[in-house]
Amino acid sequence: MLSEVTITRAIINRYLAKLENHLEVDVAIVGGGPAGLVAGKKLAEAGYKTAMFERKLSIGGGMWGGGMMFNEIVVQQEAKRILDEFGVPCSEFEPGYYTADSVMCASTLCSVATKTGLTIFNLVSMEDVVIRRNRVTGLVINWSAVEMAGLHVDPLTIKTKWVIDATGHAAEVLNVIARKVDAELNTTSGKVMGERSLWAEQAETHTLDNTKEAFPGVYTAGMCANAVFGSYRMGPVFGGMLLSGEKAAATLAGLLEKGE
């Protein structure tokens, strides 16, 4: 006989244990797009306690819809090895241009990242940060449903050594910091510089250059990197997102190893 109450107790129990186990982490990733997923997989693989918070029900960010809802994505030569590493099937369209089914890509990145050890809290939004001595030391989180309904419900807090802002075009973590903190970001203007219009070639190179610490304790990854440091958007070519996630993870793993 199946007991509905046991089913309910199982869910509550397991979820609360998972949440409690991630109240203090090495890295908190905000945003579950391609950049965040690659970063999360790599950090989990390196043995660091990593939690991802994603506002939406689904993980995968801007991948699902490909370009203008044609559900295929393009990945350039330099990043194909990351698709291979995750086991995402792709095929060459022209030399140096590979395509992948965007549904296959989003679901596989998510599957591999979680199986490697990344813990994902979907339906949870970052609404604020905790700052101590001019460094981000925590995230302030709330149910996305609370945010969407505009309910007056106070959030909860987690502690983290590092944050990766992988929120895409919106650059939400760094925008919160720029808005609320009386301190400058590591950008030319000291503020979020804002993205420029579409230029795939430039944008893809800049994404990697701009994957760096934008405020003490906070790294950029993916489209957020260009939005914060004032570079171009790239459209539905995803290699830069994958490479940026990889770079953010490698850099943070190096710092964590040194005890930073």
* Chain contacts with ligand 48F (rule: CB under 6 A): 30-36, 53-56, 61-63, 125-126, 166-168, 170, 172, 222-224, 233-234, 236, 238, 241
Residues 29 and 42: beta-carbon distance below 8 Å: no
Q: How far is the CB of 172 from ligand 48F (least distance, A)?
A: 4
Among residues 191 and 233, whose Cβ is nearest to ligand 48F?
A: 233
Q: Which amino acid appears at position 177 of this protein?
A: I
Which residue number, 9 or 180, has a Cβ lying nearer to ligand 48F?
180
Q: Burial code of 42-56, b = ≥16 C-beta within 10 A, e = fewer?
A: bbbbbebbbbbbbbe
Which residue, 35 or 46, has its beta carbon nearer to ligand 48F?
Answer: 35
Q: With respect to ligand 48F, which residue has the nearer C-beta, 10 or 230?
A: 230
Which DSSP string do the residues of 133-151 spell out, in sequence order?
A: TTEEEEEEEEEHHHHHHT-
- What's the closest the beta carbon of residue 77 comes to ligand 48F, in angstroms? 16
CB 233 → ligand 48F: shortest distance, Å? 5
**CB nearer to ligand 48F: pick between 8 and 77:** 77
CB atoms within 10 A of CB 114: 17
**Smallest distance, Å, CB 243 to ligand 48F?**
11
**Tally of CA atoms within 13 A in the half-sphere of 176 that contains its CB:** 18
**Residue 25: C-alpha distances to residues 96, 129, 142, 215 (Å):** 38, 14, 17, 18
Minimum distance from residue 158 beta carbon to ligand 48F (Å): 13
